[in-house]
Structure 1
Amino acid sequence: MPGTVLPSIPHYVPAPQTNEPLEYANLTVIDLSKADTYEGRVKLAVQLRDAMLAHGFFYVINHGLTQAQNERIFDIADVPFSAVTDEEKKTYAANIKATGSYQGYKLRQYWHIDAGVRDQVEHYNINRDVTKKLHPQALRPLIPEIEAFAKFNHLQVLHPLLRLFALGMELPEDTFVNIHGYDAAGESYVRFMKYYPRSEDEETKTKNVWLKGHTDFGSVTILWSQPVASLQILSPDGKWRYIRHIDNALVVNAGDAMDFLSGGFYKGTIHRVIQPPPDQQGYTRLGAFYFVMPNDDTKLIPFAESPVLQRVGIQRRCEDADAPTMEAWRRGRTSAYGQTDLQKKEKGVEEEIINGVVVKHWN
């Protein structure tokens, strides 16, 4: 991270952890410090593969940042919301539907959730190439730290994990690394995200769901764990279970792009966000993420040469000839999310078609 003399900003105080007796998913913990040797990576790859097949989510610990550095990231994450006026936010709002890009602000009430209720979520997105866009005044002194955070996530967390994903499919270690270049054309980005409390009427109309069940559209999502209990995953037995907070841990899942590239072996993980438990209601929920996508020109077709896929078979979401590039897929998914009239299918499932591929949402 950048040098020792850092710009002074207010300290963000997170919500206290919940004491409610919630049902948590029993997720695997990957100790990334053991990835320094090939033997260590082979063992971790088995853990990661089994975690992906069982839950699709896992924790990462010993990633290289201290608790103090973690807290500094959350201090920075709050700045786009607490230190920028609503008027200035509009100046830096992304033209999401037209461009298929989230770069800049996604302001509140942009997404339709359900029953006429719109979201109370605000986020600010910064491409790993931090020079692509101008940033709000309050964030400008912090850009070197945000850039270092993006680079850390990409090179020190993502690339080691991608080697484990590859080894789990018995592919050469750098198979996925080679299509996730830090300097390549693409839109992997840092997201700072804040959920605000909603009215009782909104909670009733949406059955307390803040974001419907969905899959992410990139390859890997890295979430820096925070204490407000709202994130749930859809377990294989059909039950929604909470993700437990672990101090200074990362919560990692795969998205659509990894699903395409792995021939369905690593499925995009279904997750949602709901109203926090009673003892955390009234708090905002601040998140820090790194959303990962392969290089824009990557065609999203399976690595069919994988010995694992040759044994278990390939589950394609479309024919290889019709497969989108990462750029086409991210633009299509971004433009449509929260804007499309979804078609109700089986109970609790709605669908839309993006680039000729069925995309499901769980409600």
Structure 2
Amino acid sequence: MTETATYPEVPHHPPPPPTTEDLDWADLPIIDISKANTAGGRAELANEVRDAMRTFGFMYVVNHGWTQAQNARIFDIADVPFSQVSEEEKRQFSNEIKNTGSWRGYKPRQFWTVDNGVPDQIEQYQFFEQKHHPQALQPFLPEIYAFAQHNHFKVLHPILRLLALGMELPEDTFVEIHDGDATGPSFVRFIKYYPRSEEDEAKTKNVWLKGHTDFGTITILWSQPISALQIMTPDGQWRWVRHIDNALVINIGDAMEMLSGGFYKATIHRVVQPPPDQRAHARRGAFYFASANDDVRLVPFLDSPVLQREGVRRRIEDGDAPTMAEWRAALVRTYGVAELRRRDDVVEEQVVGGIVVRHYN
């Protein structure tokens, strides 16, 4: 007799239907990651992924080995830290972000400033830098660990191998600097976006999170139906990212751009108010933010024959380049709280550790 695993109960949140609004969608490539299980499949995919990450810095991944039922359950679990934990307990699992340079545990609402003095309405909970978690999350920790492991080994590792092949490097080049411990430098993050007043929407021109690039190597976003994510496409236009059931939205971050000598592109993206037919629904997010190991210095892999042919684009001289831990902590300490210098009507800048960081509004 086959035993069936019994999981703790969690309130189910049926996903809302996708928007019917006529939006300007980004035409992102769709990658069947199951092909990466063989050497021949990786050779086939390497050029597709290389071109996607050079052109857009974004792509979809499908056939990643996680079922639609597992997907739905992780989104139900993702609501637990927000709806089933008291405000008092949330404060116990928050930390001094400006001092620690970490988003472990809770990042409360109204911590960042979006624009014109308007605070954000984004609450998030991040695993696994900390050993202890709110009581309501305790029953679900084994599943969240399994979610982290699946993202790391079944999604991240194949993508890293394909990115290395795209640079004509040994395929494990990037895998070797991304340790697989679920409590290591990569993070599971659950996010909940709360509605804002019409006054705040007007002051921020409906922007919930300014245009930015992620600080890590690879971001894995589990697609969900409420449209709010936009990317800046190569022609300089903001376009919406379409929902695909049980697909992943993958993007390059700053650290991979630096490690690849600018060969791969950390793409600008933002979060805006959903279209009118979806504004009554809560928007939840489930993410895996991958970073290189903390001691990895963010300098280009100059052994790449591609870089030797095409040249290197550095954001900072190699001798001044930060480690992954230094870069992450510096960005976290200053994001959304530092004063920005306006460059023009769209771009604002700050300098972090000698590197220019741009925000787009």
TM-score (norm 2): 0.97
Q: How many residues align?
A: 359
In structure 1, the residue corresponding to 2:79 is in which secondary structure?
Answer: helix
| Partner in structure 2 of residue 166 of structure 1 | 164
Structure-to-structure mapping, 1:266-277, within 5 angstroms? 266-277=264-275
Q: Spell out, residue by residue over 1:294-347, the C-alpha distance to the aligned partner (whole angstroms, 9 max, x if none).
A: 000000000011111111110000110000000000000011001101110133
Q: Which amino acid aligns with 2:111?
A: Y
Tell me how far 1:86 sits from its aligned partner: 1.6
| Partner in structure 2 of residue 258 of structure 1 | 256
| Partner in structure 1 of residue 45 of structure 2 | 44
- Report if the CA contact (8 A) 1:186-1:294 is conserved: no
Distance 2:26 2:55 in 1: 10
Distance 2:104 2:17 in 1: 31
Distance 2:203 2:120 in 1: 12
Structure-to-structure mapping, 1:77-88, within 5 angstroms? 77-88=78-89
The change in CA–CA distance for 1:121 and 1:184 in structure 2 (over 3 A counts) is closer
Residues 1:55 and 2:53 are matched in the alignment: no
Distance 1:227 1:118 in 2: 25
In structure 2, the residue corresponding to 1:158 is in which secondary structure?
Answer: helix
Q: Which amino acid aligns with 2:88?
A: E
| Partner in structure 2 of residue 329 of structure 1 | 327
| Partner in structure 2 of residue 210 of structure 1 | 208
RMSD: 1.3
Distance 2:237 2:351 in 1: 26
| Partner in structure 2 of residue 104 of structure 1 | 105
Consecutive unaligned residues in structure 1, runs of 5 or more: none
Tell me how far 1:184 sits from its aligned partner: 9.2
| Partner in structure 2 of residue 345 of structure 1 | 343
| Partner in structure 1 of residue 30 of structure 2 | 29
Q: Spell out, residue by residue over 1:69-125, the C-alpha distance to the aligned partner (whole angstroms, 9 max, x if none).
A: 101110110111111112211111132111000110001000000001000000000
| Partner in structure 1 of residue 116 of structure 2 | 115
In structure 1, the residue corresponding to 2:78 is in which secondary structure?
Answer: helix
Distance 1:186 1:335 in 2: 19
Q: Which amino acid aligns with 2:297?
A: K
Distance 2:25 2:87 in 1: 36
- Report if the CA contact (8 A) 2:214-2:254 is conserved: yes
Percent of aligned pairs sharing the same letter: 62
Consecutive unaligned residues in structure 2, runs of 5 or more: none
Distance 1:229 1:47 in 2: 26
Tell me how far 1:5 sits from its aligned partner: 0.5
In structure 2, the residue corresponding to 1:165 is in which secondary structure?
Answer: helix
- Report if the CA contact (8 A) 1:186-1:327 is conserved: no
The change in CA–CA distance for 1:296 and 1:186 in structure 2 (over 3 A counts) is farther
Q: Which amino acid aligns with 1:251?
A: V
- Report if the CA contact (8 A) 1:234-1:270 is conserved: yes
TM-score (norm 1): 0.97
| Partner in structure 2 of residue 278 of structure 1 | 276
- Report if the CA contact (8 A) 1:212-1:272 is conserved: yes
Q: Which amino acid aligns with 1:235?
A: T
- Report if the CA contact (8 A) 1:185-1:295 is conserved: no
Tell me how far 1:37 sits from its aligned partner: 1.0
Q: Spell out, residue by residue over 1:163-190, the C-alpha distance to the aligned partner (whole angstroms, 9 max, x if none).
A: 0000000000000000001139842110
Residues 1:220 and 2:221 are matched in the alignment: no
- The 4+ residue runs of structure 1 with deviation greater than 4 A are none
| Partner in structure 1 of residue 295 of structure 2 | 297
Deviates more, 1:177-186 or 1:277-286: 177-186
Deviates more, 1:183-192 or 1:345-354: 183-192
The change in CA–CA distance for 1:138 and 1:237 in structure 2 (over 3 A counts) is same
